[in-house]
Amino acid sequence: MKVLIIGGVAGGASCAARLRRLDEDAHIVLLEEGGHVSYANCGLPYYIGGVIEEEEELLLQTPESFYRRFRVDVRVRNKAEKISPETKTVTVRNLEDGSCYEESYDKLVLSPGAAPFRIPVNPKAASRVFTLRRVEDCRKIRDMVTAGKYRSAVVIGGGFIGLEVCENLQKEGIDVSVVEAMPQILPPFDEEIAEILHGCLRDHGTALYLNSKMEDISPSETGGCVVSLSGGKQLFCDFVVMAVGVRPDTALCREAGMELTDRGSILTDENFLTSLPDVYAIGDAVITKNRLTGMPGMTALAGPANKQGRLVADILCGRKTIPYPGVLGSFVIRLFDRTAAATGINERTCRQAGLDYAKIYLLPYDHATYYPGAEQMVMKVLFEKKTGKLLGMQCTGLSGVEKRVDVFAAALHFGGTVQDLEELDLCYAPPYSSAKDPVNFAGFVGDNLMQGISRFWYWDQMPERGGENEVLLDVRTPEEYEDGHLEGAVNIPVDELRERISELPKDKEIYLYCQVGIRGNVAQRILTQKGYSAWNLSGGYGLMSRIGKA
């Protein structure tokens, strides 16, 4: 069996190594357009910031080491230019000498990845505008940083790569502006969670331009760039990093007559077989099914790409028949001291998919508050209203965030419910968690909602001020109330509520809140049991103040 693999990074390299372990006699050729194979593409932003100090650390394998270990014929700077499915050959250009040759295959595995999208700019400024895909791109930006004379940069695009580059440039003392065309950064997060991250960036000195389309980049008089934004604003900087998303690198697939989506992603069956016989495709260039909605989408994440590479090797060797389950899209990003992570689908997707969902917000601590260093996080949990089936979770905080997201991702994998979250037997000691872990707590709150024990109102449903049918009630202490409260709220501390309950009108809706929702729950339960129609603010004043609503 001769297997030709196009693309030698996450998916392609994983596939080649696994293939060799399964079949010592296979003939495996791996073509990579760039100068490196199996490099740490997720590490590139950290090389820009000098966190990863040596370029060599990014190179997990060299063509030589890969050959020695796996007897894979790795050819870097060799670009596949044409697939001929009828003859089962690929036309390859050697980028070193420009020569072309034909390479045959029994099985072809495409792992071409996705290329950064480039918005056209004034060509005179082009030498100061960078994108990030390969080690070579990274080195160019690193050179700008280490030159020592450049002080400011504009990052176009508030996605994962843009923000990781932003953090790393700032770490090196460069002033950074982030320009994002949408109203929020990181679209996998819902807007209110993104708003917390906006605050994090601003707190760390990032100039953030949301709802701002980059119109042009032209050279400035001082040799730098002028970035013109929609609305007329101009940003002056020494250089620009453009990170406005990626497009599947599939021109040669289209020419070969392969079925693609309108945006160029490769369509495959559940075993990664494309529309061309004996041609498989994996990684960022492939459309994958969302495990929860079943809806197809583009996933540019290293985890799925690596696992798909391994799976396709199993499939080629007849080892696997289980159809690929699809992706949850779990991800995590570090923003300065903060972690933000999520799994499953967000509220926007729930709405688009027409799901009858419920949501809750929690502000738990990463570990027991009596143990030093406890950090508060914000969690948003989505689940099906009727069944309790989990749909997604978003979380941000300084510590313990990715642990809860991973536990949640495991629950999603198994089709778990909020009731399952209640029962999870997670490990506990004071430095690590609480006896009721935040994930358990999400289960308690979700189950309370499903059972009708809890009734919530939400940050985007502020009661009408002075409304004739509504009372806004703050059940925190007078001291907390004085420090800041929602406009129009009256204050009755939860511990006085039973005595002072007659101060509240029974014929109005009571919208109450505390700091995070726990005392509010007690208050709502008291009022509900005494015949009031009461609603507790999910996430409390703590959420409101973090998202700029208080």
Active site residues: 514
Close Cβ partners of 168 (under 8 Å, ≥ 6 residues apart): 45, 46, 48, 49, 50, 51
How many residues sit in the footprint of its own copies (CB under 8 A)?
94
Using the rule CB under 8 A, is 444 a contact of its own copies? yes
Q: Determine the 3-state secondary structure of 122 from DSSP.
A: coil
Nearer to its own copies, 25 or 487 (CB): 25
Using rule CB under 8 A, residue 68 touches its own copies: yes
Q: How far apart are CA 237 and CA 152, in angstroms?
A: 5
Q: Which of 280, 245, 276, 251 is nearest to 265 (CA)?
A: 251
Site for its own copies contains 536 (CB under 8 A): no
Residues of this chain, 159-188, that bind its own copies according to CB under 8 A: 160, 164
Report helix, strand or coil for 422. helix
Q: Does 388 bind its own copies (CB under 8 A)?
A: no
**Nearest alpha-carbon partner for 17 in 316, 313, 324:** 313
Q: CA-CA distance, 340 to 394, in Å (whole number)?
A: 8
Q: Which is nearer to its own copies, 228 or 521 (CB)?
A: 521
CB of 520 to its own copies, least distance (A): 12
CA distance 7 to 211: 35
Instruction: Quote the least distance from Cβ 239 to its own copies, whole Å.
Output: 24
Taking CB under 8 A as the rule, does residue 337 contact its own copies? no
d(CA 499, CA 372): 36
Segment lying near its own copies (by CB under 8 A), choices 50-58, 119-127, 249-257, 457-465 = 50-58
Describe the strand order of the beta sheet including 331-335 as a list of residue ranges. 331-335, 338-344, 390-397, 378-384, 357-362
Q: How far is the CB of 262 from its own copies (least distance, A)?
A: 26
If binding is defined by CB under 8 A, does position 506 make contact with its own copies? no
* 75 sits in which H/E element: strand 73-76
Q: Are 142 and 159 in contact (CB under 8 A)?
A: no
Q: Which of 522, 533, 549, 550 binds its own copies (CB under 8 A)?
A: 522
Tokens of 354: 């027409």
Q: Which is nearer to its own copies, 79 or 307 (CB)?
A: 307
Among 35, 43, 187, 219, binds its own copies (CB under 8 A): 43
Among 325, 467, 478, 484, binds its own copies (CB under 8 A): 325
Of 327, 360, 377, 543, the one binding its own copies (CB under 8 A) is 327
> What gap in Å lies between CA 269 and CA 278, rounded to an integer?
12
If you count them, how many residues does the chain have? 550
Tell which one of 98, 148, 414, 502 touches its own copies (CB under 8 A).
414
Report how far apart, in Å, the C-alpha atoms of 357 and of each of 247, 387, 388, 516 are.
32, 9, 9, 22
DSSP structural state of residue 348: H
- For residue 307, state whether it binds its own copies (rule: CB under 8 A): yes
By CB under 8 A, name the one of 215, 216, 384, 420 that touches its own copies: 420
Out of 215, 278, 375, 406, name the contact with its own copies by CB under 8 A: 406
Least distance to its own copies, CB of residue 249, Å:
19
Amino acid at 10: A
Single-letter amino acid code for the residue at 45? P
Does 313 contact its own copies by CB under 8 A? no
Distance CA 183, CA 212 (A): 8
The interface region with its own copies, picked from 15-23, 243-251, 260-268, 376-384 by CB under 8 A, is 15-23
Bridge partner list, 507:
none
Map the footprint of its own copies across residues 239-258, applying CB under 8 A.
none
Contact pick of 89, 171, 336, 432 for its own copies (by CB under 8 A): 432
> Which part of the chain contacts its own copies (CB under 8 A), choosing from 36-44, 201-209, 225-233, 266-274?
36-44
CB 437 within 8 A of CB 428: yes
Regarding 460 and contact with its own copies (CB under 8 A), the answer is: no
Q: Does 372 help bind its own copies (rule: CB under 8 A)? A: yes
Q: State how far the Cα of 12 lies from the Cα of 306, in Å rounded to an integer.
A: 8
Residue 341 engages its own copies in binding (rule: CB under 8 A): yes
Binding to its own copies by residue 103, rule CB under 8 A?
no
The residue written with tokens 């703590």 in the block is 542
Element housing 543 (H / E): helix 540-546
Q: Which is nearer to its own copies, 23 or 191 (CB)?
A: 23
Using CB under 8 A, pick the residue from 86, 97, 262, 425 that binds its own copies.
425
Amino acid at 252: L
Nearer Cβ to its own copies (144/494): 494
Give whichever of 174 and 439 is closer to its own copies, judged by the CB atom: 439
Nearer to its own copies, 54 or 487 (CB): 54
